[in-house]
A and B are shown apart, each in its own frame.
Chain A
């Protein structure tokens, strides 16, 4: 026993170091997979409010650019309103549409903190669970998708962006419909890659990549990027596709969070088929 205590005393520093290091590393490796608490992220209220105060100053740096962007978006939407069409036939009236039902609602938000040069990049959002934000909702901006909500607190949320190792979102080529997954190699914030596309069909350069909308997170057809380079993966029948993101993540500030009104219904019915498979 005395030997044991002497041993502990002798290696006290090393043991404490190993203990703290173990805590830090386990935090690091588990948080990337699943956040258990919001206190260690920028979703927590202290960090969030400090970052929001900073953003209060820095948001004005890009004001004119953002205004132009929002104006452009407004024009696009205005053009779709009934009042911007001339009636060609006097008898036509607008009736309550029962063929279509709204599936997606959009909640506006502002990014108050962002990084782009890390291996895993997370953005902080100025709205949280009190505004209806939940883990797993999709986030996009005018130009294209941005990421998925990773973690929320009452007034703030953290987005896992496209600039992470793997954002588990299925994407597809707009024209041909081939599916793949979105990945990022951690080097260039403008370029990502699309994996899992079999090379039996030829792919044109500058083909548009959009979301597939299978998981119920994103609607189908939101822009992701454009294919900029096509290469063959050695030894496999797959393409190695590099794409340029539609959104410049270094500039994005105004985003929309997607609320899928039919998500529960989709999850329920998918769960049923899972049970049947098990039996």
Chain B
């Protein structure tokens, strides 16, 4: 399928699922399920930082417009996409990446995905809750929210990939 078409379809799906379904789920303990960072994660390895930033700004603004957060999601998603190449470089294997692949859990294996996506999502969540609270007194509460939400969001992201994304094979 055409790459652009596939990604725009994904963009709309992520936006709708996040805003219409996941934003309405109340688990308690301040847990919020956030899967939209997965969209940025799934863009193929050859996507440059600038296009990553532009895409994440657009997606973030759209999500903010639907959930009345005025730029909170945008800011944390920008951090996510800015650090994506840095983290990828950090966990690079000796051969380097196949640039045409998408960094899904199926393509790259569980260990790599947990390391890279896990740390990126941790930074994203921490930044999000830190900005939302914006008070150093509430650091405990920020950490609590991060620690509770992170595993659930992560698990949901992995589950979605096993359900909907196929493994890519390269020549």
With both chains docked as a complex, state the minimum distance between the C-beta of B121 and any C-beta of chain A, in angstroms: 18
Task: Give CA–CA (A12, B53) in the complex, Å.
Answer: 12
With both chains docked as a complex, state the minimum distance between the C-beta of B55 and any C-beta of chain A, in angstroms: 11
Report yes or no: A116 in contact with B141, Cβ–Cβ below 8 A. Answer: no
- Interface residue? B110 (CB, 8 A): no
Which single member of B26, B72, B78 contacts A17 (CB below 8 Å)? B78
What residues on A are CB-neighbors of B70 within 8 Å? 27-28, 31-32, 40-41
Task: Give CA–CA (A120, B71) in the complex, Å.
Answer: 13
- Interface residue? A25 (CB, 8 A): yes
Given A117-B30, A119-B133, A187-B30; A13-B23 close (CB under 8 Å): no
Report yes or no: B71 in contact with A13, Cβ–Cβ below 8 A. Answer: no
Report yes or no: B75 in contact with A42, Cβ–Cβ below 8 A. Answer: no
Task: Give CA–CA (A16, B81) in the complex, Å.
Answer: 12
Q: Secondary structure at chain B's binding surface: helix, strand, loop or mixed?
A: helix
Q: Mark A181-218, 1 if CB is under 8 A from B, else 0.
A: 00000110000000000000000000000000000000
- Interface residue? A65 (CB, 8 A): no
Which single member of A12, A16, A47 contacts B66 (CB below 8 Å)? A47
Which single member of A16, A39, A47, A118 contacts B32 (CB below 8 Å)? A118
Report yes or no: B71 in contact with A117, Cβ–Cβ below 8 A. Answer: no
Report yes or no: B68 in contact with A28, Cβ–Cβ below 8 A. Answer: no
Closest to A25 in B: B75
What residues on B are CB-neighbors of A117 within 8 Å? 26, 28, 30-32
Tally chain A residues at the interface, Cβ within 8 Å. Answer: 36
With both chains docked as a complex, state the minimum distance between the C-beta of A37 and any C-beta of chain B, in angstroms: 10
- Interface residue? A158 (CB, 8 A): yes
Task: Give CA–CA (A201, B65) in the complex, Å.
Answer: 46
- Interface residue? A111 (CB, 8 A): no
Task: Give CA–CA (A118, B25) in the complex, Å.
Answer: 12
Report yes or no: A158 in contact with B68, Cβ–Cβ below 8 A. Answer: yes
* Size bracket of the B interface: 20 to 34
Report yes or no: A118 in contact with B78, Cβ–Cβ below 8 A. Answer: no
With both chains docked as a complex, state the minimum distance between the C-beta of B73 and any C-beta of chain A, in angstroms: 9
What residues on A are CB-neighbors of B143 within 8 Å? none
- Interface residue? A59 (CB, 8 A): no
What residues on A are CB-neighbors of B24 within 8 Å? 58
Stretch at the interface among B3-11, B56-64, B155-163: B56-64
What residues on A are CB-neighbors of B18 within 8 Å? none
Residue in A41, A44, A250 whose Cβ sees the most chain B Cβ within 10 Å: A41
Report yes or no: B50 in contact with A31, Cβ–Cβ below 8 A. Answer: no
**Which residues of B from 120 to 135 have beta carbons under 8 Å from A?**
131-133
- Interface residue? B119 (CB, 8 A): no
- Interface residue? B153 (CB, 8 A): no
Report yes or no: B61 in contact with A40, Cβ–Cβ below 8 A. Answer: yes
Closest to B76 in A: A24
Task: Give CA–CA (A187, B140) in the complex, Å.
Answer: 12
Report yes or no: B53 in contact with A17, Cβ–Cβ below 8 A. Answer: yes
What residues on B are CB-neighbors of A186 within 8 Å? 30, 133, 138, 141
- Interface residue? B82 (CB, 8 A): yes
Task: Give CA–CA (A31, B32) in the complex, Å.
Answer: 22
With both chains docked as a complex, state the minimum distance between the C-beta of A240 and any C-beta of chain B, in angstroms: 15
Report yes or no: B68 in contact with A41, Cβ–Cβ below 8 A. Answer: yes
Task: Give CA–CA (A187, B82) in the complex, Å.
Answer: 31
Given A20-B53, A116-B26, A117-B31; A28-B75 close (CB under 8 Å): yes
- Interface residue? B47 (CB, 8 A): no
Report yes or no: A115 in contact with B50, Cβ–Cβ below 8 A. Answer: no
The 9 closest A-B pairs by CB, nearest first: A31-B70, A27-B71, A28-B71, A122-B68, A24-B74, A24-B75, A24-B71, A119-B132, A13-B49
Residues of B within 8 A of A (CB): 20, 23-24, 26, 28, 30-32, 49-50, 53, 57, 60-61, 64-72, 74-75, 78-79, 82, 131-133, 138, 141
Q: Can you spell out 24 A-B residue pairs with CB atoms less than 8 angstroms apart?
A: A13-B49, A16-B50, A17-B53, A21-B78, A24-B57, A24-B71, A24-B74, A27-B70, A27-B71, A28-B69, A28-B71, A28-B75, A31-B71, A40-B61, A40-B70, A40-B71, A42-B66, A44-B65, A115-B67, A115-B68, A119-B132, A158-B68, A186-B133, A250-B26
